[in-house]
Structure 1
Amino acid sequence: MSDRPRLLPLLGSTRHGSRDAMTCLYRCGNACDHPVPNTSDNAYFGDVVSTEVSRRGVVRAGAVGALVLGFGGAAAGALAGAAPAAAAPEVPADLDALAVGRPEKGVGNGALTFKPVPPNTLDSFIVPNGYDHAVVIKWGDPVVPGAPEFDLHRQSAAAQAKQFGYNNDFVGIIPLNRRRALLVVNHEYTNENLMFPGFTSQDALSVEQLKIAMAAHGMSVVELERVGGTGQWRPVDSGRRPYNRRVTANTTKFELTGPAAGSAWLRTAADPKGRTVVGTLNNCAGGVTPWGTVLSGEENFNQYFVGGDAAPEDAKPKLARYGISTSARYPSGSRKWERADERFDLAKHPNEANRHGWIVEIDPLDPESRPRKHTALGRFKHEGANVIVAKSGHVVAYMGDDERFDYLYKFVSDKKFMKGNSWVARRHNLTLLESGTLYVAKLGFTSAGEIDGSGKLPTDGAFNGTGQWIKLVSGNRSYVEGMTAADVLTFTRLAGDKVGATKMDRPEDVEPSLLTGKVYVALTNNSARGTGSNPKADEANPRNANKHGQILELVEHRGDNTADTFTWSLPIVAGDPADPSTYFAGYDKAKVSPISCPDNVAFDATGNLWISTDGNALGSNDGLFATAVEGPERGHLKQFLTVPVGAEACGPFITGDNRSVFVAVQHPGELDGASVENPASNWPDGDYAKPAVVITWRLDGAPIGS
């Protein structure tokens, strides 16, 4: 192999990255084939991403989650008073330092000495020399004690509600002690053509099959145990397993909290008080909180609803802004769930869609607790939410709206985080996301006149600028003209339009580093930029027809995460290093791995940034990458692993002892024409494709990355 990476061939698709039509259909209901929902004339942030994607420091597993399993993290300490069902977890001595995110020496400069895995198209899970891996749990495996073994030909909704769901995404770990932990996983969506033998179309599915798909959505909580003294973990397969739990789209009840709860927008015939929702939809990324709960983002919820053409006229602009068709009863990509549950028919229940698109909080340590949807954090296509405790003690949550030309948000709690491990402290902290102030980002550019859409660096040598957080709502007070607080929180996209928020290139994971307080945003791609009447490139989104995405680094004023101003830059602009429009923080591009479509991020215990990809437009499989964010190795990006054919690498989570990496392998074999009988992948068991969570560790017990 030459020192200079060759320019890898690009695929011809104009869809999301290099994804097949099947992915576009099942994941987001063909969102890219529909008009861009954001028709405002707000400024666009799309072109700066081409060179300055510094380190997307936003882990799907959550800021705290990336550090807890040492067990030296904030979540570990928060759990001590939490769970009457089992013995109290051990409490680390360094809880407070990790919770507030104080800078430490050597941050982001831990040694990443592994030999990179080369780009490939193998139907395998590939790791570096000296490492091993194993499937932790896969679709259909029993979760709840008493669940039946999976039988492909005898599936039922009742069985699936007790088994591991489909298309695992976010991965989080809640430690119980040094040898036991809880694995918390999102199940984003289903591929019915890869689930049911003899599949022909969504219309031909039986009502029972539709209910199976509903039960395969949601979340799973699974108790794990360490294997000997290694970095491997596996499910506990005997005993009470009191924490094990399934959350689904059709059986689990959720409590609405915050200022919009009970408002007219959230009331339905089945819930006239507007405070209780059945199910959660399209759960994508998430985060682990310092008090030991998990946050999960409801993303492409629009595809589950039909009948928008018959909705009340005053509701249609609001539905359209969220990607719900108001002209066709059955829009392209419809899942036909209304055949199994009429609440998905907006002609009959016009407010049901408003009850989805929120941040969900679940308490894995209390299996009897009711999950909550927090209206104070706004409603949009949430990729996820990740939190940090600011210097003042307030909790700050960062969020991205994963749509072309949509916005970046943050939430600052009214109350302060209560330190300590008492039951009183934990009950207090469980209320932190119920009230606070919601902001949307507006970016300023330093070299706007030099941006030509090619990705060429400005003469000052960087894509960078300043920005401000625009206040949308605080408690019950709206700061958006013509909108009440309930309006702003329920139709947050419209509020962002009104105040001039900056249009971004699909902001997905957004995560603060607990060690530095810097925030990293994964901007996945935006092939629509600069096409037709769509916004052209700008300094933050510097490339037209952006196929590969970028990482944005955001530094709050004076290091205060509650500040209302910030500076930003693009440390990484993704693509083939031989492409002149790419940038890797100034590092020698002949020595970095090609990367396309950054999606999720995570941090290891020393602060290195780990980036997983979705939809590699360079023609090779998706994977997990690592780079330092500080020091001379900043920008030295190396591919750590690759996932099988057709799969996406999701939810990277590096344990706090730096001995294990969890990755969710989502939709393996998701290629056009694939089916159960004609699989495009036979990973992991050699028969038909199954989404699964995988763990990787060093055989000699050395730290991950070495």
Structure 2
Amino acid sequence: MDVNRRQFLTYLGAGTAALASLATGIPALAAGPLSGKTADHLFGLDAKKTNFNPKFTPIEPTTKDDVVLPSGYSYDVIASYGDKINPAGDTYDYLNADGDDNKRTPDQIQKYLYALGGSIIEIKKENGKWKLVSDSEYGRRVSGLTKHVLTGPAASIAKEVTGTFANCSGGVTLWNTVLSCEENYLDVVGDCKLPDDRHYGWVVEVDPFDPKSTPKKHTALGRFSHENTAMVLASTGQLVVYMGDDAKDQYVYKYVSKGKYDPKAGKANSRLLEEGTLYVANFGKGKWISLDLATNEALQKAVKADGKPLFATQADVLINCRDAAKAVSATPMDRPEDLEVHPIDGSVFIALTNNDKHGNFYGQIVRLFEKDNQHAGLEFSFEIFAAGGPQSGFSAPDNITIRLPKTYVHNIH
């Protein structure tokens, strides 16, 4: 049965949208910044015209400890923990930092930090199967022991910082580098007795094609529990990066570069992530609020318990993004994780995992529409695109992938 978006919402009833509204604090049935769209076109496409057929039978729920795929699909194990990835003998390691408190010796801490972070690997296809290139010139570790440089307004923290860890989804740039997002970093800082937690919680840029390059932590994008980045080029030529802070009652952000993207500049476009404006979303008003200390009076007036200014410099704002967002009355959300920009209509999808503090156990997906499709603009509307729960068949949305029929992919490129 071909059910479009309007029919789906009718089936669920307005009650589901109302529950999602109450759980998130978003006035889903109110006037104001709501989009009023029913998304019949479904991601900017008319389902009746695309004849989109996923060509697989969905799998049933299972408790198997395996990668369970639909009939006709298979998978290959490309890299396993400890596999050699380059001539130097570095091994493939990729660990999240989650775990119980640890009491480690200095030697154990070094080994632990090496195992955290990520790996750059090269793969190739042989006899129909993908395999790891163990002596790749590109293979390297970007770990808890790797030296990084800081860029942007908070670069004054240190000339050089050591390590990246608690890395989550991340993203890619328009100039073919990789962005890795530092998420739940505080556990590692405490376990490993690291001296300054301000060195972590940033978006890290790594060039996978230059093994000798030094990774950069871009402080202009703010410090919080980053889940991913969604980069898009605004009609103004500016670079826009959407981000979420994956924690209960935290916020949705976007960064707008000061300069414009130049496709001829190649990797030099990285400088666009060093100077720009960070915004946080107020969903009640449908506005992006600037976190620029020089122009935002709410940030200038924010004070500590002792009456001293909460933010003395722009670096203070970026280091303490959560405090800054709260000071400007941004909208607390239900664990904003993955954000993705639709490649056809430019709308932004936000996966809100859940928030049991407000009785929202299943989460929802919000769809944001920038006014006049201006990604560098300051106004937006939104809709509750889908609410999790038994009726909809999904729960706790995390990462999102937008799959398009081949005809549309061809037309885009």
Q: TM-score, normalised by structure 1?
A: 0.48
Q: 8 Å contact 1:49–1:573 — kept in the other structure?
A: no
Letter in 1 for 2:142: V
Q: 8 Å contact 1:50–1:549 — kept in the other structure?
A: no
Match of 2:142 in 1: 247
Cα distance in structure 2, aligned partners of 1:392 and 1:600:
28
Cα distance in structure 1, aligned partners of 2:406 and 2:368:
16
Q: 8 Å contact 1:108–1:607 — kept in the other structure?
A: no
User: Displacement, 1:190?
Assistant: 6.1
Cα distance in structure 2, aligned partners of 1:49 and 1:575:
19
Q: Secondary structure of the residue that 1:134 maps to in structure 2? A: coil
Match of 1:224 in 2: 123
Q: 1:302 to 1:138 in 2, by over 3 A?
A: same
Q: 8 Å contact 1:49–1:552 — kept in the other structure?
A: no
Q: 1:45 to 1:438 in 2, by over 3 A?
A: farther
User: Displacement, 1:45?
Assistant: 7.0
1:556 aligns to 2:370 (yes or no): yes
Report the more deviating stretch, 105-114 or 129-138. 105-114
Match of 1:259 in 2: 153
Letter in 2 for 1:235: L
1:407 aligns to 2:349 (yes or no): no
Cα distance in structure 2, aligned partners of 1:411 and 1:606:
30
Cα distance in structure 1, aligned partners of 2:51 and 2:139:
37
Q: 8 Å contact 2:98–2:187 — kept in the other structure?
A: no
Q: 8 Å contact 2:23–2:360 — kept in the other structure?
A: no
Matches within 5 A, 1:43-122: 46=24, 110-122=52-64
1:299 aligns to 2:183 (yes or no): yes
Match of 1:235 in 2: 132
Cα distance in structure 2, aligned partners of 1:108 and 1:212:
52
Q: Secondary structure of the residue that 1:137 maps to in structure 2? A: coil
Match of 1:124 in 2: 66
Q: Secondary structure of the residue that 2:300 maps to in structure 1? A: coil
Q: 1:477 to 1:376 in 2, by over 3 A?
A: farther
Letter in 1 for 2:209: L
Counterpart of 1:470 (choices 286, 289, 292) is: 289
Q: Secondary structure of the residue that 1:495 maps to in structure 2? A: helix
Tell me the alpha carbon deviations over residues 433-482 of structure 1, each in whole angstroms, 9 at most, x when there is no partner: 000011000012xxxxxxxxxxxxxxxxxxxxx611011128x7666224
Cα distance in structure 2, aligned partners of 1:44 and 1:394:
35
Q: 8 Å contact 1:257–1:275 — kept in the other structure?
A: no
1:134 aligns to 2:76 (yes or no): yes
Matches within 5 A, 1:444-455: 444=284
Cα distance in structure 1, aligned partners of 2:167 and 2:369:
28
Cα distance in structure 1, aligned partners of 2:406 and 2:275:
30
Counterpart of 1:601 (choices 384, 400, 410) is: 400
1:488 aligns to 2:385 (yes or no): no
Cα distance in structure 1, aligned partners of 2:356 and 2:181:
24
Q: 1:486 to 1:221 in 2, by over 3 A?
A: same
Matches within 5 A, 1:425-436: 425-436=265-276
Q: Secondary structure of the residue that 1:400 maps to in structure 2? A: strand
Give the total of aligned pairs: 365
Q: 1:48 to 1:486 in 2, by over 3 A?
A: closer
1:547 aligns to 2:366 (yes or no): no
User: Displacement, 1:513?
Assistant: 1.8
Gaps of at least 5 residues in structure 1 are 1-42, 53-102, 148-161, 168-187, 193-200, 267-273, 307-334, 339-343, 445-465, 530-544, 583-593, 609-629, 631-655, 658-706
Match of 2:166 in 1: 282
User: Displacement, 1:146?
Assistant: 4.0
User: Displacement, 1:572?
Assistant: 1.3
Match of 1:166 in 2: 94
Tell me the alpha carbon deviations over residues 468-497 of structure 1, each in whole angstroms, 9 at most, x when there is no partner: 1011128x7666224331221111111111
1:524 aligns to 2:408 (yes or no): no
Q: 8 Å contact 1:48–1:570 — kept in the other structure?
A: no
User: Displacement, 1:125?
Assistant: 1.4
Q: 8 Å contact 2:183–2:227 — kept in the other structure?
A: yes
1:371 aligns to 2:190 (yes or no): no
Q: 8 Å contact 2:85–2:133 — kept in the other structure?
A: no
Match of 1:570 in 2: 384
Cα distance in structure 1, aligned partners of 2:279 and 2:50:
28
Q: 8 Å contact 2:175–2:267 — kept in the other structure?
A: no
Q: Secondary structure of the residue that 1:213 maps to in structure 2? A: helix
Cα distance in structure 1, aligned partners of 2:28 and 2:115:
37
User: Displacement, 1:418?
Assistant: 0.8
Q: 1:442 to 1:526 in 2, by over 3 A?
A: same
Tell me the alpha carbon deviations over residues 169-204 of structure 1, each in whole angstroms, 9 at most, x when there is no partner: xxxxxxxxxxxxxxxxxxx22668xxxxxxxx833x
User: Displacement, 1:297?
Assistant: 1.1
Match of 2:13 in 1: none
Q: 8 Å contact 1:513–1:607 — kept in the other structure?
A: no
Letter in 2 for 1:568: F
User: Displacement, 1:604?
Assistant: 2.8
Q: 8 Å contact 2:182–2:227 — kept in the other structure?
A: yes
Q: 8 Å contact 1:244–1:367 — kept in the other structure?
A: yes
User: Displacement, 1:382?
Assistant: 1.1
Give the structure with the higher percent helix.
2
Gaps of at least 5 residues in structure 2 are 1-20, 35-43, 302-310
RMSD (CA atoms): 2.9
Q: Secondary structure of the residue that 1:511 maps to in structure 2? A: strand
Counterpart of 1:189 (choices 90, 97, 110) is: 97
Tell me the alpha carbon deviations over residues 56-98 of structure 1, each in whole angstroms, 9 at most, x when there is no partner: xxxxxxxxxxxxxxxxxxxxxxxxxxxxxxxxxxxxxxxxxxx
Q: 8 Å contact 2:222–2:318 — kept in the other structure?
A: yes
Cα distance in structure 1, aligned partners of 2:279 and 2:88:
45
Cα distance in structure 1, aligned partners of 2:109 and 2:22:
39
Q: 8 Å contact 1:218–1:249 — kept in the other structure?
A: yes
Q: 8 Å contact 2:238–2:259 — kept in the other structure?
A: yes
Q: TM-score, normalised by structure 2?
A: 0.81
Q: Secondary structure of the residue that 1:551 maps to in structure 2? A: strand
Q: 1:405 to 1:125 in 2, by over 3 A?
A: same
Letter in 1 for 2:403: D
Cα distance in structure 2, aligned partners of 1:104 and 1:254:
42
User: Displacement, 1:575?
Assistant: 2.0
Q: 8 Å contact 1:218–1:283 — kept in the other structure?
A: yes
Cα distance in structure 1, aligned partners of 2:274 and 2:374:
22
Letter in 2 for 1:132: S
User: Displacement, 1:120?
Assistant: 0.9
User: Displacement, 1:574?
Assistant: 1.1
Q: Secondary structure of the residue that 2:217 maps to in structure 1? A: strand
User: Displacement, 1:47?
Assistant: 5.4
Cα distance in structure 2, aligned partners of 1:518 and 1:604:
15
Q: 8 Å contact 1:394–1:414 — kept in the other structure?
A: yes
Structure with higher RCO (Cα < 8 A, 6+ apart): 1
